[in-house]
Structure formats: C-alpha cells, structure tokens
Amino acid sequence: MVNYVEKSIRTALQEDLSDRGDVTSLSTVPSRKTGNAHIIAKEGGIIAGVEIVETVLHEVDPELKITANVTDGDRVASQQEVIKIDGSLRSILTGERTALNFLGRLSGIATLTSRFVELTKHTGVRILDTRKTTPGLRLLEKYAVKAGGGYNHRIGLFDMVLIKENHVTAAGGIRQAVENSRRYLKQHDLDLKIEVETRNIDEVRQAVEMGIDRIMLDNMNVDQIATAVALVNKRVELEISGGVNLQNIAEYAETGVDFISIGALTHSAKALDFSLLIL
C-alpha cells in the first residue's frame, strides 16, 4: 500500500509540475521565506486522507512540519481547522492543490459512505463498495469507504470469483459457470469465494442449489428480495446491488440481506470542500 500511495502521489504532482515546477510560486515568493498555513473544512463531513496530505507535502519538501488535528474517520465541522503546516511558503503553495484534491476526494467518499451506514445501522447490513472507482486510485478510494464505516467488496478481478450475467451467458448457464469456476480454482490451487449474480427468483434457486458462497440480487425490487431471503433462509450470504439510494436504502436493508453494494460510493461522491490559507 505504501508504494502504491507514493506512486499515486508522484503521478499527481508530476501532472501539476511537469519539468518546470510551480512557476508562479517560484517567481513571486522569496526562496527563504517561511511561514505557516492551515487547511480548514468548508463544510461538515467525515475526513479521510490526512496521512495522504502529509505524504504529498513531504514529497514536495521533507522539511515541512505538518500537524494534524483530526484522524481519518473523524467527523469535522464547517470552518474547523484540520491540518496546520509550517515551513517554506513556496513548498506549501506548490503542494497545496494536489494535497487538497486527495483530501477532498477521499473525504467526499467517506462522507457519502457514512450517510448510507447511518441509515442502515439498525439492521446490521454491511455497506460495500464496488470496482466503479477512479482508474489508478482504487485502493485509496476503497480506503476512504472504510473510513466512512463501509466495507470493501473484492479489490479487483483477482481476489474473488464474481459470476455476472455475461459470464453466465458465455458459459452456458449458472450451473456450468459455477462448475467451470470450481474446476479452475482446484487446478490452480486457489481458495477464493464464489458469488453469482441473479436477476430473478428462478436464478436464485439455481444458485442456492450450487452451494456457492454468496448470491447477488441484481436490480430486484423489495418484494422479490423478500422472497429470495425466505427462499435462501440464511443458507447463503445475500447481497443487493442496483437501484439503491439514500431514499430507499433503509427499506432494502430491512429485508434481511447481509450486504448492499453501492457503486455510487465511489463513482458519484461529491468531493468535500477544503481550503488552504496562509496565516
């Protein structure tokens, strides 16, 4: 994770600096001028990415002193100071936007996740993310989901067998797809869970008979989900996916499923607004 984060940060800084650097700060701010600045939250929410900010600024200038007043997962209020920075003003200004981009993006994901978690906490259901993430930032965005109280689904295509509609069609049916998967896992000595996406009760019945680890109920309405819950009767983990939002999630969660996966946690989260000001 450390190397992944450092690579992401260096890529982001390279986008900003190219081979010329921060020409505005270089041309306007004396090289030896020092001072302090603070990052404040301009709206309330759940913070995520405090250590990322520190890593960004230290990549720009290892001599900068960063003091965090919060930790990831904390709730912050509007106008609250979250981080204080002391040192070269040139360096602070050079790292400002990259640091705030990471902090705002990750805190936005954490904040949205926390809203879904809060609406379902009376049910015990676990809120999951998906692979609908920003290319190159998946691990950071999934980290932000956890900071908001959610859980990670599979990280990528390598750590779980998730048989979806197109796999079923290509394999010739649910049974054939599952049997093919089990054969492959055995041949390659892999101990991975198998999940099957289902679109109707008949497919749920087929999936249950295959004795898999989890069934995804894809874009089903509440009545269909209730029927599936009764049919499965806790023999297999159940996950809802599709059509879930802040307005209806409580109703879905109250059906008795184990998980609800929500792509919007990462693909539609609004960045939390932060500002850096030199004092």
> Tell me, what DSSP letter sits at residue 151?
B
Distance CA 197, CA 194 (A): 10
**212 neighbors 196 (Cβ within 8 angstroms):** yes
In the residue annotation, 146 being an active-site residue is answered as no
Annotated active-site residue in 84, 131, 146, 164: 164
In the residue annotation, 164 being an active-site residue is answered as yes
Instruction: List all residues 6 or more positions away from 263 whose beta carbon is below 8 Å from its beta carbon.
Output: 129, 130, 132
In the residue annotation, 218 being an active-site residue is answered as yes
Instruction: List all residues 6 or more positions away from 149 whose beta carbon is below 8 Å from its beta carbon.
Output: 73, 113, 114, 117, 118, 127
Distance CA 83, CA 67 (A): 6
Annotated active-site residue in 97, 131, 182, 193: 97
Annotated active-site residue in 72, 197, 203, 239: 197
In the residue annotation, 197 being an active-site residue is answered as yes
Pairing type for strands 259-261 and 126-128 reads: parallel
Annotated active-site residue in 131, 132, 182, 193: 132
- Sign of the torsion angle spanned by Cα atoms 190, 151, 259, 112: negative
**Secondary structure (3-state) at 213:** coil
In the residue annotation, 97 being an active-site residue is answered as yes
- Please name the residue ranges forming H helices in the chain: 2-17, 23-28, 50-60, 89-120, 138-147, 165-171, 174-187, 201-209, 222-232, 249-253, 264-267
Active site residues: 97, 132, 164, 197, 218
